[in-house]
């Protein structure tokens, strides 16, 4: 990559979003900081999260009918959005109050942007329908997302890798516990079928 960030050149919004997603997937801290600081990138981060949810539904829909696919898509979107927001909120608390980095004036929107783009490697889940290989590729995508989240947290909080890992682990476990409550409510209301 050249000294100039690929996303600072004159590109349309879609090209910029794709280049940013690629940069974050490459674990490029400069691109993560660029996303963090661009207040207009929150919608782009949301789109990345939605695309990853759609990719997951596509990858798991092998042999499914349209109705089943749409159900998996709706479930994936709801689960992804809930977990994205809950994880960002808990990471904000953990990173600003429990494990402080050099930058303690972090906002929820900055975290939503960087963590949303960190989901980009999850697009690999679209290959989940391929027997055996799909599972391996999806697992690689999952681990890649975890690493990208650590890079996103490190850049957002301007902290060490060790502290970013601690923020990620604490936030991840707490998010699973917290996200279960609204998801269970949605399941019990019949809105989501897991």
Task: Identify whether 87 is part of a domain.
Answer: yes
Task: Identify whether 46 is part of a domain.
Answer: yes
Task: Identify whether 4 is part of a domain.
Answer: no
Task: Identify whether 75 is part of a domain.
Answer: yes
Task: Identify whether 3 is part of a domain.
Answer: no
Q: What domain range is 107 assigned to?
A: 13-188
Per-residue pLDDT of the chain (194 residues; tens, 9 = 90+): 334 444 545 455 556 899 999 999 999 999 999 999 999 999 999 999 999 999 988 888 776 778 888 888 888 898 899 999 999 999 999 999 988 766 778 999 999 999 999 999 999 998 988 888 888 998 999 999 999 999 999 999 999 999 999 999 999 999 998 878 877 887 788 776 66
Name the residue among 102, 84, 104 with its Cα closest to residue 94.
104
**pTM of this structure:** 0.85
Cα distances (Å, whole numbers) of residue 25 to 19, 51, 84, 116, 122: 10, 14, 17, 11, 10
Angle CA 83–84–88, to nearest 5: 110
The number of folded domains in the chain is 1
Task: Identify whether 1 is part of a domain.
Answer: no
Task: Identify whether 86 is part of a domain.
Answer: yes
Could you tell me if 167 and 94 are in contact, meaning their C-beta atoms sit under 8 angstroms apart?
yes
72: tokens are: 């998996």
């Amino acid at each position: 990559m050249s000294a100039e960030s690929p996303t600072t050149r004159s590109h349309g919004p879609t090209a910029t979003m794709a280049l940013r997603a690629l940069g974050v997937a490459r674990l490029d801290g400069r691109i993560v900081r660029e996303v963090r600081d661009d207040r207009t990138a929150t919608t782009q981060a949301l789109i990345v999260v939605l695309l990853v949810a759609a990719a997951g539904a596509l990858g798991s829909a092998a042999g499914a009918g349209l109705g089943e696919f749409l159900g998996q898509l709706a479930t994936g979107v709801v689960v992804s959005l809930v977990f994205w927001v809950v994880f960002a909120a808990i990471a904000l608390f953990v990173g600003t109050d429990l494990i402080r980095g050099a930058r303690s004036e972090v906002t929820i929107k900055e975290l939503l942007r960087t963590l949303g783009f960190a989901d980009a490697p999850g697009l690999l889940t679209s290959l989940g329908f391929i027997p055996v290989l799909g599972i391996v590729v999806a697992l690689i995508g999952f681990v890649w997302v975890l690493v990208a989240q650590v890079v996103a947290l490190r850049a957002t909080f301007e902290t060490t890798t060790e502290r970013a890992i601690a923020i990620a682990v604490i936030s991840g476990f707490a998010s699973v516990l917290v996200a279960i409550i609204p998801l269970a409510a949605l399941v019990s209301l019949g809105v989501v079928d897991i």
